[in-house]
Chain A
Amino acid sequence: MGLTNQATGFRTLRENFLPASTGGYLVALAGNPNAGKSTVFNALTGLKQHTGNWPGKTVLQARGKFTHQGHTFTLVDLPGTYSLLANSVEEQVARDFICFGRPDVTVVVVDATCLERNLNLVLQVTETTNAVVVCLNLMDEARRKRIAIDVPLLARELGVPVVPTAARRGEGLAHLKDTIAAVATGALCPGPAPIIYDADIEAAAGQLTRQLQPLLRGRLNARWVALRLLEGDATLLQGIQQFLGVDLSEPGIKLQVKEVLV
Chain B
Amino acid sequence: MMELQTLTYFVVGATFALYIGIAIWARASTTGEFYVAGKGIHPVANGMATAADWMSAASFISMAGLIAFKGYDASVYLMGWTGGYVLLAMFLAPYLRKFGKFTVPEFIGERYYSQTARIVAVICLIVASITYVIGQMKGVGVAFGRFLEVDFEIGVMVGMTIVFIYAVLGGMKGITYTQIAQYCVLIFAYTVPAIFISFQLTGVPIPQLGLGSTINDGSGLSMLAKLDQVLVEIGFAEYTAMKGTSLNMILLTLSLMIGTAGLPHVIVRFFTVPKVKDARASAGWALVFIAILYTTAPAVGAMAIYNLIKTVQPGDVGAPTANLKYDERPDWFKNWEKTGLLKYQDKNGDGRIQYYNDKNKAFAAKAEASGWKGNEMVKVDRDIMVLANPEIAKLPNWVIALVAAGGLAAALSTAAGLLLAISSSISHDLLKGVFRPDISEKQELAAGRIAMGGAILVAGYFGMNPPGFAAQVVALAFGLAASSLFPALMMGIFNKRINNTAAVAGMLSGLGTTLVYIFVFKGWLFIPGTNNLPNTPDNWLFGIQPESFGAVGALINFTVAFVVSRVTAPPPEHIQHLVEDIRIPRGAGGASGH
A binds B: no
